[in-house]
Amino acid sequence: MADFETPELKEYPVIPHIEVGTMAHSKPFVAKEQFQEPLGFPGELVDNWQQVAYDKMEELTGKYRSLAVFLDSCVKCGACTDKCHYYLGTSDPKNMPVARQDLFRKVYRRKFTFAGKYFPKLVGAVDLTEEVLNDWYSYFHQCSQCRRCSVYCPYGIDTAEISMAAREVMDSIGVGQKYCNEIIAKVYKIGNNLGLPQPALLDTLEGLEEDIEEETGVTVRLPLDVKGADILVVTPSADFFAEPHVDGLMGYAKVFHEAGVSWTLSSYASEAANFGMFIGSYENMRKVALRIREAALDLGVKRIIFGECGHAWRVAYSFLNTLAGPFDFLDPKYPVPQHIMEFTHDLIQRDALTLDKSANDDMVLTYHDSCNVARASRMGPKPGGQFILPREVIKASCNHFYDMPQDTIHEATYCCGGGGGLLTDDLMELRVKGALPRMEALKHVVENHGVTHMAAICAICKSQFAKVMPYYGFQMDSIVSVHQLVSNAIVLGNKQ
Amino acid sequence: MPFLTIVYAVLFYVATALLVVGLASKIRQYAKTPAPLKIPTTPAPVTRTGVVMRMFRELVFFESLFKSNKWIWIFGWMFHYGMFLVLARHLRYFTDPVWTWVDLIQPFGMYAAFAMSAGLLGLWARRFLVDRVRYITSLSDHLMLALLFAIAGTGLMMDYVTHTDIVAVKEFFRGLMVFNWQPIPEDPVLLIHLGLVATLMIIFPISKLLHAPGIFFSPTRNQVDNPREKRHLSAWASELEK
């Protein structure tokens, strides 16, 4: 299948011994000029790149308290060393969060601290040489910004913050990552990551309406760009055609249909994901987020609801109000934004949906907590609602559900292996190896409870698992959307 | 005035000044640097009170470390709270009359010194025995442990091996506090102990010991999880809106 070995799934998870340099060759394609410039970055490595990088580092430590505090605070205690799925899957010590951070920290020390300036050897401080920059490019693109390390750090140091800063510094000297930057440019030009223009979207949505009607005999609308609708739905563009994402989208449509609300998608803001976060660029993240505000104003909606997408929900829940608020023009009765899970869960609580659980009896399910939903957001009014709501929606839609082992779910969940801007074919080895801890946990419930399918609420998770599960001997269609289960179970036209 | 007294008096004034000024400027930097985005590691408290409770659990129980690794947790906790008690015990050299609670903890402070040393040795052993931790350890990490262990060791020596004139030590420090210098006992173990303590004070604001003020400013721990309810906007980010 590929020129690397898929790790073996062990009976019990084992912390590997370090093997220096096993992933030093892993590098995503570098962005060409045409993908750099729309984002405001130089097209190629600038002449005085070292100085530009140092200046950027100084700027960022002055702009982000997280960075300033995290760079000073690490004591190298080792608490995070066995927490990263990429370390567990690759054994490369530079994939231990502390070592990954140190690639950045050792340069920070050299340039900005007394100890590093005068006693560099003592504290392991180095200049930003070409070799160090190579390491940065390689290993800061082996972090999916999943924040698992931040749960376990006694000071809450979040490697994602360091990775974002490092990527921002690299972008500023002209060394950007093709996958992320090309996608952001596409959003600016067309409105979504996949580059689907309005006519294509319209065509797709009409097709989906036909599918639903054929299957259920009920006309369920998937409206696009409808002015005066009550709810703007923003969903990852993968929902428009990828499997199993699209089954989730049909699920949202059926839920809205049953709730009897008026809703619309927007072609201008036809993307929930915000790759500006992956590259640590506040400006680009803001620019992408503002499209949602503009669409909401333009369509005159009263509420905004996000579809199933992990990092998107982080930006939406945690950052949207900051980046594109205030949303005082929307109905104050509802949080801005809401998650589709909150909407569906509320209907279930109020007994406003008829769900026939037996429609999913061909599956025994488990649930993968998406990293950024779990550790960077919330659903509902209470902390931890992001773990409860999806499970309650799943359990209301099926008869057979089992959780994976405790140390692999909720806040301890593992990333799918493809988050944070790494869901690209040029990082296939990393993606397969990074999925190891989740695959081991899945194997556990497959063997002990006969689990056949894993549900997820993130476009990246779904794409990643569909691609990497076959490497581990699982069927590619054993990953499903949560709203796909709702879609299967929902009995249309029952409650008016 | 004996030469050594002058040296140690000056050393402690300089060390104290560097510690206070260094820490104050770092704290000022952390406080002044904006946190433009809400990034608490969730599930996070949704109220200020909840955040205070979370920070309390981090500081007192090392909650995150407990979730992470029981060995580091037990050694780290023994070391930190051992040191805390030992430091509290040392207040008797600076107060007259000695505060009642300081009097009361004197016996515990002795056990604490052993707990502190044992914790340090445990942490140090991990730097050799666990390959992952060995990989991330640099020379300064060993030196820091050596320094702390030597401070604890020389302190214990003065209790169990070679007693020093602690009344004179107290006179010396009380004198420093009111700029009325008194002679320091010229006892080698004491001089080494105090020299190392001054070294620790000097390197505190320029080393990884900054984790002490750092934890109070860590946005993943000290932010309230309420981004939808309350708009969070930093000064430089609001400039972009103009």
Same domain, yes or no, for A95 and A206? no
* Residue from the list A76, A150, A383 with its beta carbon closest to the beta carbon of B220: A150
Helix A159-172 vs helix A130-139: crossing angle, to nearest 10: 130
Contact pairs from chain A to chain B, CB under 8 Å: 213
- The whole-angstrom separation of Cα A416 and Cα A465 is 7
Same domain, A137 and A247: no
* Average pLDDT over chain B, rounded to an integer: 96
Q: What is the distance between the terminal CA atoms of chain B, rounded to a whole angstrom? A: 65
Q: Say which CATH topology domain B3-38+67-205 has.
A: Fumarate Reductase Cytochrome B subunit (1.20.950)
Tell me whether A495 touches chain B (CB under 8 Å).
no
Residue A279 located in a structural domain: yes
Q: Looking at the structure, tell me whether residues A381 and A392 fall in a common domain.
A: yes
pLDDT tens track for A15-54: 999 999 999 999 999 999 999 999 999 999 999 999 999 9
DSSP A471: G
Average pLDDT, chain A: 96
The helix or strand, by DSSP H or E, that contains position A30, with its residue range, turns out to be none
Residue A102 located in a structural domain: yes
A76 interfaces chain B, CB cutoff of 8 Å: yes
- CB contact under 8 Å between A319 and B38, yes or no, is yes
CATH of the domain at A175: 1.10.1060
Cβ distance B136 to A17 less than 8 Å, yes or no, reads no
Whether the CB of A322 is below 8 Å from some CB of chain B: the reply is yes
| Alpha carbons A192 and A312: distance in angstroms, whole number | 13
Residue A103 sits in the same domain as residue A205 = no
pLDDT surpasses 90 at B16: yes
Residue in A closest to B133 by C-alpha = A78
Query: What are the pLDDT digits (tens) for A329-387?
Result: 999 999 999 999 999 999 999 999 999 999 999 999 999 999 999 999 999 999 999 99
pLDDT tens, position by position, A198-252: 999 999 999 999 999 999 999 999 999 999 999 999 999 999 989 999 999 999 9
Distances in whole angstroms, Cα of residue B75 to Cα of each of A56, A140, B70, B81 = 38, 31, 9, 10
Sheet with A303-306, strands from edge to edge, namely: A263-265, A231-234, A303-306, A338-339
User: What is the distance between the alpha carbons of residues B160 and B14, in angstroms, rounded to a whole number?
Assistant: 30
Q: Judge if A237 and A178 occupy the same domain.
A: no
pLDDT of residue B1: 81
Query: Where does the pLDDT of residue A1 fall: very low under 50, low under 70, confident under 90, or very high at 90 and above?
Result: very low
CA angle A74, B126, A90 (to 5 degrees): 75
Model confidence pLDDT, tens digit, residues B108-127: 888 999 999 999 999 999 99
Identify all chain A residues contacting B130, using CB atoms and an 8 Å cutoff.
78, 81
Q: Does A153 touch chain B (CB under 8 A)?
A: yes
Q: How far apart are CA B208 and CA B215, in angstroms?
A: 12
Write down which residue in A183, A211, A245 finishes a domain. Answer: A183
- Nearest to residue A19, comparing CAs of A76, A84, A90? A90
**A193/A331 same-domain check:** yes
- Looking at the structure, tell me whether residues A254 and A160 fall in a common domain: no
A322 contacts B232? CB cut-off 8 A: yes
Residue B221: both structure tokens together: 């721990």
A455 and A321 part of one domain: yes
User: Does residue A410 contact residue A388 with C-beta atoms inside 8 Å?
Assistant: no
pTM: 0.96
Min CA distance, A150 vs chain B (Å)?
A: 7
- Would you say residue A21 lies in a domain? no
Q: Does B33 touch chain A (CB under 8 A)?
A: yes
**Cβ-defined contact of B37 to A322 (cutoff 8 Å):** yes
Is residue A425 included in any domain, yes or no?
no
Domain count, chain A: 2
Q: Check whether residue A199 and residue A146 sit in a common domain.
A: no
A242 shares a domain with A121: no
Residues 6+ apart with CB under 8 A from B140: A115, A119, A122, A123, A124, B207, B208
Residues A205 and A242 in one domain: yes
Domain that holds residue A398: 185-402+451-489
**What pLDDT is attached to residue A494?**
63
* Shortest Cα distance, chain A CAs vs residue B172, angstroms: 32
Q: Which of B32, B142, B238, B157 is nearest to A121 (CA)?
A: B142
pLDDT at A224: 97
B107/A101: higher pLDDT: A101
Asked if B214 has any chain A CB less than 8 Å from its own CB, the reply is: yes
CA distance A279 to A461: 19
Which residues of chain B make contact with A319, given a CB cutoff of 8 A?
Answer: 37-38, 227
Mean pLDDT of the region A292-311: 97
Distance from the Cα of B10 to chain A's closest Cα (Å) equals 22
Listed residue (A262, A412, A413, A255) closest to A348, CA to CA: A255
pLDDT, tens only, B184-231: 999 999 999 999 999 999 999 999 999 999 999 999 999 999 999 999
Strand spans (E) along A284-335 = 303-306
Chain B residues with beta carbon closer than 8 angstroms to that of A374: 42
B contact residues 130-169, partner A, Cβ 8 Å cutoff: 130-133, 135-141, 143
Q: Looking at the structure, do residues A121 and A257 belong to the same domain, yes or no?
A: no
The closest of A222, A72, A145 to A419, measured between CA atoms, is A145
Last residue of a domain, one of A148, A183, A218: A183
Instruction: Give A236's Cβ-side CA count (13 Å radius).
Output: 29
> What are the pLDDT digits (tens) for A95-150?
999 999 999 999 999 999 999 999 999 999 999 999 999 999 999 999 999 999 99
pLDDT per position as a tens digit, B141-190: 999 999 999 999 999 999 999 999 999 999 999 999 999 999 999 999 99
Angle at alpha carbon of residue B5, lines to B2 and B6, rounded to 5°? 90
Q: Domain boundary residue among A128, A153, A183?
A: A183
CB contact under 8 A, A115 and B143: no
Q: Is the bond preceding residue A244 a cis peptide, omega within 30 degrees?
A: yes
Is the pLDDT at A495 greater than 60? The verdict is no
Tokens of A120: 């560099």
Inside any domain, residue A257: yes
